[in-house]
Every structure is written in structure tokens, then in C-alpha cells.
Structure 1
Amino acid sequence: MLAGVHWQPARIERVNRVLATSTKPLLVATDAGTALVKYMGNRAGLDALVTELLAAELASRVGLRTPDFAVVEIPDIETNDPLVTVQGGPAFFSRWEQAQSLSPNSKLLANLRRPSDVALLVVFDTWIRNKDRFADDADGGVLNYDNILFMPDKRKTQLLVIDHSHAFAETSLEDEINDFWATEETVYGLFNEFAPMLTRHDVKSALDTLCAVAIGEIRDICLSPPPEWGFTAGTANRLADLLVTRANRMSDWLPDAIFDQMELDLDGKEA
């Protein structure tokens, strides 16, 4: 079992359907409830499984909530979709949650129990170079509200982050995890809806949280994917070192980059 993971399905009991996203995940019934399964043979490749697992573990470590997750051995599975090939082997399972997704001008944000989670999410997405939620770049950008969910938390809401199959690298992890990976200075995750909630204090606190994670913990996380997913120990150790370097470098450039990118009218947001 992965460190800190307490939800562990043992088997798939029924495949309900194939979802129409890039990895064509399976929505399944398991002995531990409904789950979303990303598997070997998916169209996005093995790297999508590696990035899902690494991002979920890192998010949990810095205090962001994700659905419960696990790595589970599955058999070959036939589906009704001829374009879907589910190969047997270790698969990434994510517990299916009933939650609402973010939407333009959403009022759910204003009811967050921990408003500082917004700054932590922007800092986290920038740390792992996550294009799965929001990236405003020269290629036309990415805007995916569906990858931010809100769960009821008594009279408040709680942020829940999902889907990291395109984090860390645009092409392949083996090609992009190099000495330049930590030096890129692009802000990720900065939805327009987040701007009114961000403060320099919360951004700095989030950066301090990242920088406080010990290299040994990051290395253990980077080494956690099963060998069948093809993520070599050499690349894992290189990524661990670069994550530490990137977190420290971000402390210098990210706060100004965030607030320069936002509208200039930030009265009262310097606290």
C-alpha cells in the first residue's frame, strides 16, 4: 500500500462505462465502492499513470485534498469500445466522488472552508507544471473547470482536485525531466475566478509548505510508481531533485508573476 493511502479496492466487480476523456478511463464498481480507473494501454500512454500517482501523492503531502486513490492489479478487460485496450497490470484507481465542478463566476469558491487552498492550488499546479487545469500560454491555453471539484463540508465547501495526466511534461517524462525543467517561469492554475481570493501572504505560505517537504519524502514519492509503468529510478531521482530546486526557485519569482498576471486592482490583497 502507498504511504498515507487508506482506501484499497481489491477487485473490479463491474465496468459501468468508458468516459470520453483523453485517457478513456473506466467507471467501475469495486469491492470498495465506485471508482475511476486509468489503466495500461490507455491512449495517453504509461506516463499518464505515473503523473496521476505522483501528483496525487504530492498534493496529499502538501495539504490539498484529492479523491482517495490506490494502485491495484487488474486483468485484461474487454469493453464495448473498439478503440479502448485495457491491459492487465497495475492500474490507477481513484474513488468516485459526488461533487460539483467549478464554473465561471462560481459562488462555490466564496464558501470554501479554507480559502487559502486557492493559493496552495495555484502554487502546486505551477510546481508540477500542470496543464490539466489552467495554463495561459502561447499555444492557446487550457481552461478545464471540470478538474476542480467542490464537496459539501457541513455549511461550507471543500476543494477537491482531480486529473493530473498531463502534469510534469507535455511530451514524455523521459524527454522533459532535464536540467531545464526547474527553470521554467510559467504560472499554472490561475483561473480568473481565483484572483479576488489570492493574497501574497497565502501565496508565500503555500511556497513555504512546498519548500518544507523533505527531499527524502519527495524521492520516495517519485520512486513509488510500479516498474511496469516504465518510470525508471534514474528519472525518478532526477525529478525529485528538480522538484526541490523548482520549489526554491519559485519562492523568488512566483509571487510577483502571479500578481503581475492578475488585474492591477488588488486593493486590500497585499496582506
Structure 2
Amino acid sequence: MLTEVIATRYVTPLREGGSLPGIVEADDLGTYVTKFVGAGQGRKTLVAEVVAGELARRLGLRVPVLVRVRLDPVIGLGEPDEEVQDLLKASGGLNLGMDYLPGSLGFDPLAFEVEPREAGRVVWFDGLVGNVDRSWRNPNMLLWHGDLWLIDHGATMIWHHNWPTADRSVTKPYDASDHALAPFTPDIASAREELAPKVTEELLREVVALVPDEWITDEPGFGGPEAVRAAYTRQLLARARAADAWRPSVPADYRRPEKPGVGNAPAWLKGRQSK
């Protein structure tokens, strides 16, 4: 089970996010970027965050620690913004928090360099979970202490919005031509060789077990939370076993921007990237 904390103060909204996530302080003295169960995108966004985020972590990719955030709607009574008030009132109970990384920078492919091996691992993983939200327009990656961190996986596993047709997505090709890491010659073949064998039924069961029952209890067409978890496990396992069919594609003639790489990075970061 993910660690559970209790929200003690709502700090500020993050209006870049479509679901209006916010920074929240909790009783463990931690600070979390929190996505709320009452947001318009619904609970499946939170389910995707847990399943994709924790799977990425177990495959060796960097993802900020995820926690269950227990929220009392009374926390929003003093908020001057009516939209925030309404969101907090609709989000009593369990929500999802991501450890806030102070001082982190949004990833910019024009300013930062990523090695082909690491780029390949991220691109391959995004292909596995069908991430449609890691483009150069919205990379959903951070640089923190010189390392690349992955965030915002709510737009993965689009197939779980229509379970009756989910099987059609098992072999669906993953077009990585618009991926934020496409400019860095991602070594997708090595990533597939390394990561695909790690996506086992046992690992997937461990990951989906972290999804709270209350987010999947009334899923149409299923008899209960365990049946839903089994469906996620089957779908992702089938996708991993079909890796050759959906291998991420980057055009062979892809050209990087004219001024890529560490040359445009802040001076203080160049030393870290060269290590």
C-alpha cells in the first residue's frame, strides 16, 4: 500500500495542469503536488498515475514518490478561489500526492542533453503504457539534481476508458516522432531487451495492488476491485509480450533543433550534465 498522509494545508493551485492539481502540505511535514478525486478528469486519472508511475519506478525510471492523501473538505473553507473551493469540497477522502521536488526545472529539449540509453528507456516505457502526453510541447519531465524525473502519467493507458475495446490496443504501434526525447537518438532496441522481460505478471500484480479499492469499486462490467486489477494486469502483460508489434518509431531522418544540448543549459547545470 502507498503511504497515507493527511492534508493539513492547501498551499496553491498549479494552473498548468488541466485537472487543477495543487500543492498541499501534510501531517508528515511533506509537501506534495496533489491530484484530486473530484477533478473533472475523474478517478481514472489517479489510477493511471499510480499504475504507470509505480511501474516506471520498478523498471528503474525516476518518478517522485507517490502517496495517498487523505483530505477533509473543510480544508477548503478559507480558499478565496471558488473553483478551488468546489474542487476541494468534491474531493473528500483519498486523493493522490506526488512528492514536491523543490528547485526542479521543467525539461527543455533545447537546453538539456539526455543519453540515448536513458532516452530509449523512457520512450519504450511510454510505448508500453501508451503515454500520449510526453511531447516536446508538454514534456512532463523535470530536471532535479542533474537527473531526469518523470511526472504526470494521467494520460496513459487510454484503453481503460473503454474496457470492451481494450484488447485492440495490445499491438497498437506507438508513434514517438513527437516525443520530447526523440531528438536524442533513443536506443529503443536496448531498452526493449532490458525492460520487456521485467514486466512480469508478478510485478504487475504488485503494482495494481497499490490502487485504492474506492477508485475502482464500481467500474462498469466488473464484479469488484480484484476483477479490475486482474484486467489491468492482463492488458499490460499482453502489451509487454507484444513489444515487437508496437515498437516505438522515430523517423530515421529526424533532425534535432539547430541549437540543442548542453550549450543552452544554465551554466551551473553544465558541469552536472558532463559527469
What's the TM-score once normalised by structure 2's chain length? 0.77
Query: Counterpart of 1:239 in 2: which secondary structure?
Result: helix
How many residues align structurally? 239
Asked whether the 8 Å contact 2:10–2:22 carries over to 1, the reply is: yes
Q: Using the TM superposition, give the Cα deviation of residue 242 of structure 1 relative to its aligned residue in structure 2, in angstroms.
A: 1.7
**Separation in structure 2 between the aligned mates of residue 191 and residue 40 of structure 1, nearest angstrom:** 28
- Specify which of 90, 96, 100 is matched with residue 92 of structure 1: 96
Deviation at 1:165, TM superposition (A): 1.1
Structure 1 residue aligned with 2:203 = 217
Q: Does 1:70 align with 2:67?
A: yes
Is 186-195 or 23-32 further displaced after alignment? 186-195
Write the distance in 2 (CA, Å) between the matches of 1:132 and 1:248.
Answer: 23
Answer yes or no: is 1:194 the counterpart of 2:198. no
SS in 2 for 1:10: strand
**Separation in structure 2 between the aligned mates of residue 198 and residue 222 of structure 1, nearest angstrom:** 28
Cα pair 2:10 2:24 within 8 Å, conserved: yes
| Equivalent runs, 1:57-136 vs 2, <5 Å | 57-76=54-73, 77-78=75-76, 79-84=79-84, 85-86=87-88, 87-97=91-101, 98-106=103-111, 108-110=112-114, 115-134=116-135
Q: Which amino acid aligns with 1:186?
A: Y
Shift of 1:245: 1.4
RMSD: 2.6
Quickly say closer, same or farther: Cα 1:243–1:177, change in 2 above 3 A: farther
Q: Counterpart in 2 of 1:164?
A: 153
Give the equivalent residue in structure 1 for 2:268.
Answer: none
Aligned pairs for 1:1-271 (under 5 A) are 1-2=1-2, 8=3, 10-20=5-15, 21-30=17-26, 31-76=28-73, 77-78=75-76, 79-84=79-84, 85-86=87-88, 87-97=91-101, 98-106=103-111, 108-110=112-114, 115-134=116-135, 143-145=137-139, 147-152=140-145, 157-169=146-158, 173-175=161-163, 178-188=166-176, 191=179, 193-199=181-187, 203-230=189-216, 232-254=225-247, 258-259=249-250, 261-263=251-253
How far apart are the structure 2 equivalents of 1:118 and 1:73?
35
Indicate how the Cα distance of structure 1 residues 169 and 253 shifts in structure 2: closer, same or farther if over 3 A, else same: closer
Aligned-pair identity in percent equals 23
Q: Output the TM-score relative to the length of structure 1.
A: 0.78
CA distance in 2, matches of 1:227, 1:64: 26
* Paired letter, 2:249: I
Residue 96 of structure 1: how far off its partner (Å): 0.6
User: After superposition, what is the alpha-carbon deviation per residue over 1:182-208, rounded to whole angstroms, capped at 9, x for unaligned?
Assistant: 1211224853653333235xx333443
Distance change in 2, residues 1:265/1:191 (3 Å)? closer
Alignment partner, residue 5 of structure 1? none
Cα deviation, residue 24, structure 1: 0.8
CA 1:216 to 1:229, structure 2 compared with 1: closer, same or farther past 3 Å? Answer: same
* Aligned-partner Cα distance in 2 for 1:25–1:264: 34
2:104 alignment partner AA: A
Q: Distance in 2 between matches of 1:225 and 1:45?
A: 14
Distance in 2 between residues matched to 1:151 and 1:176, nearest whole Å: 40
Counterparts of 2:214 and 2:174, CA distance in 1: 32
8 Å contact from structure 1 (residues 223, 236) kept in 2: yes
Letter matched to residue 61 of structure 1: R
Q: In structure 2, what is the equivalent of residue 269 of structure 1?
A: none
Contact 1:130–1:189 (CA under 8 A) maintained in structure 2: no
